[in-house]
Structure 1
Amino acid sequence: MLSLATTVTGLLCLGTLIAAQSPTGNQTNTNTNTNTITGLPASLYVDNAPDHLRPYVIRQYATAQSTVLRGEVFRFYITGPSSNNAFTLVTVNAPQNAVLNVLPHIHERHFENFYNYKGRFQLWAQGEDNTTQETRVLTQGDFGAVVRNSTHTFQMMDPDSQMGGAIVPGGFEAVFFAIGKNRSSTTHTPYDPHFASETYPLGSSNSTMSGEQSFDVYNQPQFTPRRDALNGTAPANTTWHDGPNALAPFGQPYFIANGFGPKFINNETGYQIIQPLVTAEQSGDLNFTTSTISLSTTPENVTIPTWQIRETVALQVLEGMLWVQIAEYDVAVMTVGDVALVPGGVQFRYWTETWFAKMMVLCQGSNGVDSQLIARGGSYDAVVFPNEWV
């Protein structure tokens, strides 16, 4: 495990950490910045994902090309065009549903990540070469990885549920734009409260599914979701919130309960606890990683490094607040659910001034922020950082 450094300089491995800079004097958050970098818009903030690759920050419950489908509101914070097809990042807000929210189906070209932001939903998945169908009831912070050619479906279980995550490669939002309806709300409510009193039978609401193969959606009518989950999991011999959860080998779907997966700690510039959800091994030729990172404050005698990653990086706040500076933009102060996208080659730095913050990081390539922090850190057993600075 690395000792806590008082400054981070000269870490030039693949040009990822290029300098150490103090956050002092960067406490402001403004939308009126005039950026001096050629070709970048004046404002970092957007209400919809841009139609091209550029740095941006988008708030939770922004318009985000909101689309309604079967009583669910889909918000697309990152799209194929806005990430140069690196990934799509979507959240779904919906009430409790008495039936499945979607017919069982597979994707041949897309890896779909399911993360529970709040509430509960049940997820079923069965791999292409796996005879065992598995299911989990996901609560806040739980994760499910649906790899290509895995039959899957889900059902919302609580009145205020939010799920989502990355779909790789980007561009999968096109199917929702094709079959859903544009949605606007002056209050930006998570979903229309009238949805809670409606029922959405699968047969009528998915009548277009046979035409969705061009969007990489293949109906699997022979799949019958098992209903024998005990303590949120099935089959009976599977470990869920009662023991360690491992990331599966390439090509197999898997589930990681909140805090029960592998953990690493990096203490170069304060404490960061990295919990990988998808590594290069699981993503394979799709070449991406995603992890949660829990952050401490930064000690007074420690400066904050500037990152410059070759591929696209996205950050989403899960707890607390995150301070992010991208290129020469003013510092963005991000709260829960907010998303920042940083194109490859653009400098950025992040930190928190709250006592504890947690974010999800999504990285194109195998040498992103999470991978590098893990490589320069060490294995760890806890989900919170130590009581004292080391």
Structure 2
Amino acid sequence: MAKTFFLVLAAAIGLFATASSFSPEPASLVVERVPSNVTPYVLRYSTGDAYQIGADIYRVLVTEQSSGGAFTLFTESGRENLQITTHRHQRYYETFFAIRGGMTMWINEETRALQASDFATVPQNQNHSFQFTEPDTLMASFIAPGGFEKWIYNVSEPFSSEFDAPFPPDQPLPYPVDKIIAAAADGSFDITIAPDAALSHNMTNGTSNQGLPWHNRNSDLPGNPDEPYFVANNRGPKFLHRSEGQVIAPLVSRNETSGNATISIITIRRRALGSEAPLRKSSGSQVMLVLDGQLMISLAGQNESLLTGDVVFVPPDTKYSYWSDVAFTRLYVGATSGDDGLADQLMRDAEDWGFALYPST
């Protein structure tokens, strides 16, 4: 009898210990759709909701809801196509980053042929247009504040692909001219069509203005929020955080957005064996889009590996650390609010640097 009692007691104690030590695994950071609230998430390349406008596919990676109203980030992919309707925005500060392929960008009377890693920014009330010019083109657009995706939803058709194709090269839809005109007339989407705007179609060596740098020398950021500008691939300001082996190339600083946002390209070397990546947090929302290599991030109790085209969203005041386990990783990083985004933090301890890569030794 006593033996039976002790066996039952031991089993009960073991069961209690097992139950008390059990803790559920945190929910996966990887999502199939952008969340409708502000929370950390990872979205894999060419997944999530997709929308077709003419021959192009728009994928919204960060929304007004998921960023708490701070910004929208979407990609547009497609083949060479027609020039889009010239227009302007009263509220939105819009940017264009060519990831691959090529496109022509018009802003007022300035024109540039954008290749991979070229950049253009369009402040409020500037007439602009663009056109994809290569068979496989991908562009990222960071827009502040958030909400521009509502226009995409309004004028597009849902797109799905059995193979998660970036875009359907052989199945374009008619360009939705009537929807676009109606959306502009509605007034709630902040689109003003400007069909009579003067645009320059005369380019030499990829530019309409031989007096400004374009793939032949470096350029500075304008330092004010009213001036549109272009930055050629690795031809803007660059800074080296020597101890972490990271090169920060600002494309948009807080001076160009009245303190509302920054965009930078950050190039990272492999983490040294045995070293620990520093824990960070920022007062504003951040998004990282992997352009090359492999990003490792520790966020919300999980480690995730991100490859080319993957996106991670980091909410305000959320602790994270990141590093690269491969020789070379390059990120497109957007941040909003405050002066402590990732690029800002790195640049506090960085030096002027005249090169696109970190030192070899």
TM-score (norm. length: structure 1): 0.83
The answer on whether the counterparts of 1:212 and 1:218 sit within 8 Å (CA) in structure 2 is no
The answer on whether the counterparts of 2:184 and 2:190 sit within 8 Å (CA) in structure 1 is no
Identity among equivalent positions (%) equals 29
Partner in structure 1 of residue 292 of structure 2: 319
1:203 and 1:68 map into 2 onto residues whose CA distance is 13
CA drift of 1:162 comes to: 0.5
The answer on whether the counterparts of 2:78 and 2:169 sit within 8 Å (CA) in structure 1 is no
Partner in structure 2 of residue 220 of structure 1: 194
CA drift of 1:209 comes to: 4.5
Q: Which moved more, 1:219-228 or 1:175-184?
A: 219-228
Please state if 1:71 is matched with 2:55: yes
CA drift of 1:250 comes to: 2.1
The answer on whether the counterparts of 2:79 and 2:132 sit within 8 Å (CA) in structure 1 is yes
Partner in structure 2 of residue 363 of structure 1: 335
Could you tell me which amino acid in structure 1 is paired with residue 331 of structure 2?
A: M
Partner in structure 2 of residue 334 of structure 1: 306
Partner in structure 1 of residue 21 of structure 2: none
CA drift of 1:206 comes to: 3.9
RMSD of aligned C-alpha atoms?
Answer: 1.6
Partner in structure 2 of residue 12 of structure 1: none
**In structure 2, the residue corresponding to 1:371 is in which secondary structure?**
helix
Partner in structure 1 of residue 28 of structure 2: 43
2:277 and 2:183 map into 1 onto residues whose CA distance is 49
**In structure 1, the residue corresponding to 2:112 is in which secondary structure?**
strand
Deviations 1:97-141 (A, max 9, x none): 1x31x2111111101110001000011112xxxxxx111111000
Partner in structure 1 of residue 17 of structure 2: none
Residue 266 of structure 1, aligned match among 241, 244, 251: 241
Could you tell me which amino acid in structure 1 is paired with residue 323 of structure 2?
A: W
How many correspondences in the alignment? 336
2:274 and 2:170 map into 1 onto residues whose CA distance is 53
Deviations 1:185-222 (A, max 9, x none): 121101112246x774x856744353252110011121
How do 1:1-390 and structure 2 match up within 5 A?
A: 34-35=25-26, 42-63=27-48, 65-97=49-81, 99-100=82-83, 102-126=84-108, 133-195=109-171, 200=175, 206-248=180-222, 249-268=224-243, 270-285=244-259, 287-329=260-302, 331-365=303-337, 366-388=339-361
2:151 and 2:92 map into 1 onto residues whose CA distance is 12
Partner in structure 1 of residue 8 of structure 2: none
The answer on whether the counterparts of 2:97 and 2:139 sit within 8 Å (CA) in structure 1 is yes
Structure having the higher Rg: 2
CA drift of 1:260 comes to: 0.4
2:320 and 2:112 map into 1 onto residues whose CA distance is 37
CA drift of 1:224 comes to: 3.6
Deviations 1:270-312 (A, max 9, x none): 3000000111100105x11110000001222532101111211
2:145 and 2:45 map into 1 onto residues whose CA distance is 22
**In structure 2, the residue corresponding to 1:210 is in which secondary structure?**
helix
Cα–Cα, structure 1 residues 363 and 296, in superposed 2: closer, same or farther, change >3 Å? same
1:223 and 1:209 map into 2 onto residues whose CA distance is 19
1:68 and 1:120 map into 2 onto residues whose CA distance is 19
Partner in structure 1 of residue 14 of structure 2: none
The answer on whether the counterparts of 2:288 and 2:331 sit within 8 Å (CA) in structure 1 is yes
Cα–Cα, structure 1 residues 354 and 116, in superposed 2: closer, same or farther, change >3 Å? same
Could you tell me which amino acid in structure 2 is paired with residue 111 of structure 1?
A: Y
**In structure 2, the residue corresponding to 1:361 is in which secondary structure?**
strand
Higher relative contact order (CA 8 A, sep 6+): 1
**In structure 2, the residue corresponding to 1:150 is in which secondary structure?**
coil
Q: Which moved more, 1:147-156 or 1:360-369?
A: 360-369
Could you tell me which amino acid in structure 2 is paired with residue 144 of structure 1?
A: A
The answer on whether the counterparts of 1:95 and 1:195 sit within 8 Å (CA) in structure 2 is no
Partner in structure 2 of residue 9 of structure 1: none
1:51 and 1:290 map into 2 onto residues whose CA distance is 23
Could you tell me which amino acid in structure 2 is paired with residue 350 of structure 1?
A: Y
**In structure 2, the residue corresponding to 1:370 is in which secondary structure?**
helix
Could you tell me which amino acid in structure 1 is paired with residue 163 of structure 2?
A: T
1:67 and 1:281 map into 2 onto residues whose CA distance is 33
Runs of 4 or more, structure 1, over 6 Å off, are none
**In structure 2, the residue corresponding to 1:211 is in which secondary structure?**
helix
**In structure 2, the residue corresponding to 1:305 is in which secondary structure?**
coil
The answer on whether the counterparts of 2:155 and 2:180 sit within 8 Å (CA) in structure 1 is no
The answer on whether the counterparts of 1:53 and 1:84 sit within 8 Å (CA) in structure 2 is yes
The answer on whether the counterparts of 2:238 and 2:355 sit within 8 Å (CA) in structure 1 is yes
